[in-house]
Structure 1
């Protein structure tokens, strides 16, 4: 069986990039890399044609972007690109198409019209009809146009593809709310096996270590600031706070005088920091979909303290036995202080096996394999 995989998120270091690569790699595992043709729509990748791979790069100039919008495409597509991709489906005898975004509606529609026997599925990293109106309010005029077109393309996709795939029941409710359609499958965020750790990066200290992992994305920066000022300063007698990830060393300038606060920026191995941390925190208040950093923390068996946003799609599926013991959902200062008071008063396991088992069952590469296999077999009507 030959498969076409289309994504605009293969290269980001975190977030939907992790999910996109998991989907691609799972398809490789199922049918063999030689049978998967990848369309890479990342705007920051040079145009390239290789065996079973095609990238297009960024639109040439602002006039090209406007032209794409006038064609009712987002800036990722032109009509000629869509026609070329449909041609690849025909030429390569593609049987199954995995669209790794819900806004590829014109492409989905074009494939189904030209090649009606080809099975096409669409994956929602989030429901854009809910997310994009929020982004529209704070965006430049040209981006507002693109987001509106994105919503229209999402609508077109919902009713063009053979199967709609969402992360979880919460996203399914959004799909029903905005489009009156139930999802065909749930496919939660899955991450690879935790890496082995080489050494403990934290200096010896009697204090427990709180870890935040991310990049210098505005929602992360705002979450760190809020947590530091409203929560950490009240608990710093018992805890150290470490923020790790590309660009986060900028936080040193904001809080330079606190010996219990550490901002490391990019590091070679996140595994070292995860393995030896006592608690992972994610005080996020914006975004969409399921957060990769939550799945990563669970994979390492870490006690996790996070907002409703950072636990979206996870908290609903967790056994009650770990709620407020290993997993704490917090949205107010009082919630966080209560959680950390409970953690401060007990011995904290560096790896909680009940969380590791939860990861293996729901959020691992093995779980991804089983879910993708089921989707393909039921959509194609045959065994893979």
Structure 2
């Protein structure tokens, strides 16, 4: 039995964002292949509490669970300042006269605790999510004989381009990814970019999902449009664009269901809009909708909500950024426009033209089945992990 140490700073069971869904799918893969899994997370980043930890343990996704705090309590302020704050400042800012220009989330306290786990166990693999946590393996002699994998999730330099020097940030991102034996990317764009500069193996591991079960045709669907989104800044900007520029162009009888924390940032209220802050099971909502929306003006990586919609055979109306990461850019079940008028027209076409709708729905199902269906993706992962 192979043994893996899997680090994810967030709680994968809180399935309210694509990155957590991604981590959950990878844990499920390793579980299905009988790996012994030790799961490590960070208490504050993941917003864990004792109930969350217990629920994760009971979920059976890992053999052992470690939720570590990256900083000590401030009850003894002198100890906190002298033995954590000051040493950690110099640890995280090794070249503090010349800022790193790349997010460093590993603290000296967390890395020490992480090393203790490595020292006590014999692992075959170590799996780190995000380049911003990549230094967990740097200058760490406990990882030398392990196969080191990084799941990049995203192109961080692009995410922080307005804050940091792009050249320095990109150089550091490539350096960190190159610390690993294998880099997994969720999108074809990131596979191409990292593959051009990194000397290690860069493999595409697209978002993988179960094919929806118990699909029952619903003749009278409750919603014309469904929009699922978390509350990150990219979704906030994009949602504001849609409701300011596109929504006023739509007929008022079109029924829209908005699901997710994006609702907390929307001020629009109308009789044709249903808001759901959290849905434990999205299946019933997808089955009750005709078309999925993905307004997306900025951001990188594959949009999980697009893959989810395609799995249900729902055509997707989106901007150009909405098809980022998709393996095939055309004939994929998505209608794309960056203008408000074009976006509106794509919605109207799908809601009024039966033949156009059926064509896009078939392409949606085909795109999902040939690229993102779980068992198909598992076979490709087996080539990496079951040699």
TM-score range, shorter chain: 0.7 to 0.9
Q: Closer, same or farther in 2 for the Cα pair 1:155/1:222, shift >3 Å?
A: closer
TM-score (norm 1): 0.79
Written as runs of structure 1 = structure 2, the 5 A alignment for 1:1-384 is 1-11=2-12, 12=14, 13-32=16-35, 35-43=36-44, 44-46=47-49, 52-57=64-69, 59-60=71-72, 64=84, 67-72=87-92, 76-111=105-140, 113-134=141-162, 136=163, 154-175=173-194, 179=197, 181=199, 184-194=202-212, 196=214, 209-236=224-251, 239-246=254-261, 248=263, 251=266, 254-256=267-269, 258-314=270-326, 316-318=327-329, 320=330, 322=331, 326-347=333-354, 348-349=357-358, 352-377=361-386, 383=387
TM-superposed deviation, 1:279: 0.6
The higher relative CO (CA closer than 8 Å, separation ≥ 6) is in 1
The answer to whether the 8 A contact 2:317-2:335 is kept is yes
Tell me how large the CA RMSD over aligned residues is.
3.5
Hey, what does 1:140 align to over in structure 2? none
The answer to whether the 8 A contact 2:177-2:198 is kept is no
Which is worse superposed, 291-300 or 96-105? 96-105
The size of the alignment, in residue pairs, is 354
Secondary structure (helix, strand or coil) at the match of 1:165 reads: strand
TM-superposed deviation, 1:296: 0.7
Q: Closer, same or farther in 2 for the Cα pair 1:345/1:118, shift >3 Å?
A: same
The answer to whether the 8 A contact 1:68-1:75 is kept is no
Q: Distance in 2 between matches of 1:232 and 1:361?
A: 33
Q: Closer, same or farther in 2 for the Cα pair 1:231/1:357, shift >3 Å?
A: same
Secondary structure (helix, strand or coil) at the match of 2:296 reads: coil
Secondary structure (helix, strand or coil) at the match of 2:255 reads: strand
Q: Distance in 1 between matches of 2:249 and 2:199?
A: 46
TM-score (norm 2): 0.78
Q: Distance in 1 between matches of 2:382 and 2:155?
A: 23
Q: Distance in 1 between matches of 2:33 and 2:134?
A: 26
Q: Distance in 1 between matches of 2:237 and 2:283?
A: 24
Deviations 1:246-292 (A, max 9, x none): 461663xx333x43333233344322211121110011112222111
Q: Distance in 1 between matches of 2:377 and 2:86?
A: 38
Q: Distance in 1 between matches of 2:349 and 2:216?
A: 30
Q: Distance in 2 between matches of 1:336 and 1:247?
A: 20
TM-superposed deviation, 1:180: 5.4
Which is worse superposed, 84-93 or 343-352? 343-352
Secondary structure (helix, strand or coil) at the match of 1:133 reads: coil
